[in-house]
Amino acid sequence: MPSLKDLKIRIDSVKSTRKITKAMQMVAAAKLRRAQEAAENARPYAERMNAVMSRLADSVKGSDTAPKLLAGTGSDQTHLLVVMTAERGLCGGFNSSIVRLARQRIESLQAAGKTVKILTVGKKGREQLKREYGDLFVGHVDLSEVKRIGYENAREITRDILARFDGGEFDVATIYYNTFESVISQIPTEQQIIPASFEESDADATLYEYEPGEEEILEELLPKGVATQIFAALLENGASEQGARMSAMDNATRNAGEMIDKLTIQYNRTRQAVITNELIEIISGAEAL
Amino acid sequence: MADMMQFDLVSPEKRLASFEASEVSFPGAEGNMTAMAGHMPVLTTLRPGTVRVVGADGATEYVVTHGFVEVTADSVSVIAEKAFAREGVSREELQGVLEEARSKAAEAEPEHRDAAEKFVADLVHLIDNMD
């Protein structure tokens, strides 16, 4: 049976935990709004980019001179998995769900005899994958110093990936991130970025004049398309992280509240018991006289 | 009054402008162009330079570096990787872009060097003509 003092200390400690989780929840809510706005702002660019690229891709697809980024290297032996996670924990299953998806993929690829390479973005994914697949790591992008994800960050990651692609380090690249569905639901997503894949466009058959030629434009656009996809993924991930943290912290706050109630009842019972005990002692002492 | 068309300027981070315009001039890859309503569909890449848009309430200018333009009969979309409103941009910001372009040109493969150096030259021209 814990003493009254012990109980008091526990209650105080749970109370301060609750304060912290409550504060984190509110911070996450504020950040979530900003992250959603950023994702919203990036959408028009991504949409147009995709529309133009898929149209171009359609017209170049058959040709022998199609850029490698579109047509692929002709093999799918080596896969690069870009696993994007958060820099921080305390956000529920956010990081684990991405890692789980990536891990399944790694296992199935390895079972099929493919070579897997891993590039991690964000510290948490790296920590979780390091134990098992540490020897597959080819790089890591650290975003812990970055306060607001900008297009610049996406460009740097893209530059790194493209340099590896040009160096012949891999054939297929896939990114892993969480799509923001709502505050309580984030969907782990995998998306192949190299060779580029587009949804069939239902675009109007407008004939465009291209300046310079179609392939030159495509050559210039494809790396930007990769950057755009990565940027969109980073933003989705950012919003998802805050959403996941918000609901995780909401739960934590509620649990702490329940814990405090339970402990307070126990504290009061113990206090009553102590008082009753003292009374009995006094009364029986008086009766003995 | 000339016919109006939809003008959009989007960058990866936000939509910078979206309004009705009667005429849009921009530095295309193979020369400057002006598009008005009813223009034939064109898709072109951009050189660094200024995009000038004449709307209902006068002309607005934007500075763009990378990007491309999609012209259709009733709309012009400038899809720029980096774009600034003309008044809001400082030489320093562009200087940063220039430094990066210079270092890229210096280490570019021979077959890409021409393009990279042309990009630098266009940027220098743009910065010189700023004020």
Please tell me the predicted confidence (pLDDT) of residue B81.
83
Residue A205 shares a structural domain with residue A243 = yes
Does A95 touch chain B if contact means CB atoms closer than 8 Å? Answer: no
3-state class (DSSP) for residue A37: helix
Closest to B91 in 3D by CA, of B44, B126, B42, B40: B126
Which of B8, B10, B30 lies at the smallest CB-CB distance from A211? B30
**How high is the ipTM of this complex?**
0.77
B74 in contact with A at a CB cutoff of 8 Å?
no
Which one of B16, B33, B43, B107 would you mutate to disrupt binding with A, by most A Cβ within 10 Å of its Cβ?
Answer: B43
Give yes or no: residues A175 and A283 share one domain. no
Identify the CATH number of the domain in which residue A223 sits. 3.40.1380.10
Q: Does residue A205 register a pLDDT over 60? A: no
| Full residue range of the structural domain in which residue A12 is found | 4-21+249-288
- B98 in the same domain as B74: no
Look at residue B107 in the predicted model and tell me its pLDDT: 75
Model-level pTM?
0.85
In this structure, are B49 and B103 located in the same domain? no
Give the ranges where chain A is alpha helix by DSSP (H): 4-60, 68-71, 94-111, 123-133, 151-166, 214-288
Residues A123 and A174 in one domain: yes
| Tokens 């080819």, residue located | A138
- Using one digit for the tens of pLDDT, what is the confidence trace for B11-29? 888 888 889 999 999 988 8
Kindly state whether residues B79 and B96 are assigned to the same domain. Answer: no
Residues A224, B81: C-beta atoms closer than 8 Å: yes
Tokens 């200390």 sit at which residue?
Answer: A9
Q: What is the pLDDT of residue A31?
A: 93
Max Cα–Cα distance, chain B, nearest Å: 50
Statement to judge: residues B78 and B112 lie in one domain: no
How many Cβ contacts (< 8 angstroms) between chains A and B? 72
Q: Is the pLDDT of residue A83 over 60?
A: yes
Name the domain count of chain B.
Answer: 2
- From chain A, the residues in CB contact with B41 under 8 A are 206-209
* Contact assignment for A231 to B77 by CB distance below 8 Å: no
Distance between CA A12 and CA A260 in Å, rounded? 9
| Residues A71 and A108 reside in one and the same domain | yes
Distance CA A48, CA B114 (A): 29
**Cβ atoms B45, A183 nearer than 8 A:** no
Least CB-CB distance to A231: which of B10, B12, B41? B12
pLDDT bin (cut points 50, 70, 90) of residue A24 is very high
CA dihedral B1, B3, B6, B7 (to 10 degrees): -60
Residues A220, A260 within the same domain: no
B66 token code pair = 């990378």
* Domain limits for position B80: 5-85
Say whether both B14 and B57 belong to one domain: yes
Summary mean pLDDT of chain A? 88
Range with top average pLDDT, A64-73, A249-258, B89-98: A249-258
**A206 CA to chain B: closest CA distance, Å?**
7
B77 and B31 in one domain? yes
One-character DSSP codes across A131-142: HHHGGGEEEEE-
Q: CA nearest A162: which of A129, A134, A196, A188?
A: A196
Distance of alpha carbon A19 from alpha carbon A249, whole angstroms: 11
pLDDT of residue A134: 85
**pLDDT reading at A71 higher than 90:** no
CATH code of the domain covering residue B76: 2.60.15.10
Q: Do both A200 and A267 map to the same domain? A: no
Same domain, A130 and A162: yes
Q: What is the mean pLDDT of chain B?
A: 82
Q: Give Cβ neighbours of residue A99 (< 8 Å, ≥ 6 apart).
A: A83, A85, A125, A128, A129
Establish how many alpha carbons lie within 13 A of residue A25's alpha carbon, considering only the half-sphere containing its beta carbon: 15
Rg of chain A in Å (alpha carbons): 28
Same domain, B29 and B14: yes
Using a pLDDT cut of 90, give the percent of chain B over it. 6
Same domain, A118 and A228: yes
User: In which band, very low, low, confident or very high, does the pLDDT at A197 lie, cut at 50, 70 and 90?
Assistant: confident
Question: Does residue B57 sit in the same domain as residue B119?
Answer: no
Residue B100 shares a structural domain with residue B79: no
R_g of chain B, CA atoms, integer Å: 15
Judge: A209–B11 Cβ closer than 8 Å, yes or no. Answer: no
Residue B29, pLDDT score:
83
At residue B43, the 3 state secondary structure works out as strand
Q: Which CB contacts under 8 angstroms, 24+ apart, belong to A257-264?
A: A257/A18, A259/A14, A260/A11, A260/A14, A260/A15, A260/A18, A263/A7, A263/A10, A263/A11, A263/A14, A264/A11
Q: Is residue B79 located within the same domain as residue B95? A: no
Q: Is the pLDDT of residue A204 over 60?
A: no
Judgement on whether residues B23 and B62 belong to the same structural domain of the protein: yes
Within this chain, do residues A147 and A228 fall inside the same structural domain, yes or no? Answer: yes
Q: Tokens representing A230?
A: 């990565």
Banded model confidence at residue A64, pLDDT cuts 50, 70, 90: low
Report the DSSP beta bridge partners of residue B36.
B23
Residues B117 and B81 in one domain: no
CA–CA gap between residue A84 and residue A173 (Å, rounded): 13
Count of domains in chain A? 2
The verdict on A276 and A209 lying in the same domain is: no
Q: Find the closest chain A residue to B97 by CA distance.
A: A152
What pLDDT score does A203 carry?
A: 55
Same domain, A192 and A64: yes
Q: A117 with A227, same domain?
A: yes
- A210 to chain B: which residues are within 8 Å by CB? 42-44
| Angle in degrees, CA A40, A142, A91, rounded to 5 | 60
Instruction: Please state the rounded mean pLDDT for residues A117-121.
Output: 92
Number of neighbouring beta carbons within 10 Å of residue A4: 12
CB distance from A221 to chain B under 8 Å? Answer: yes
CATH code of A8's domain: 1.10.287.80
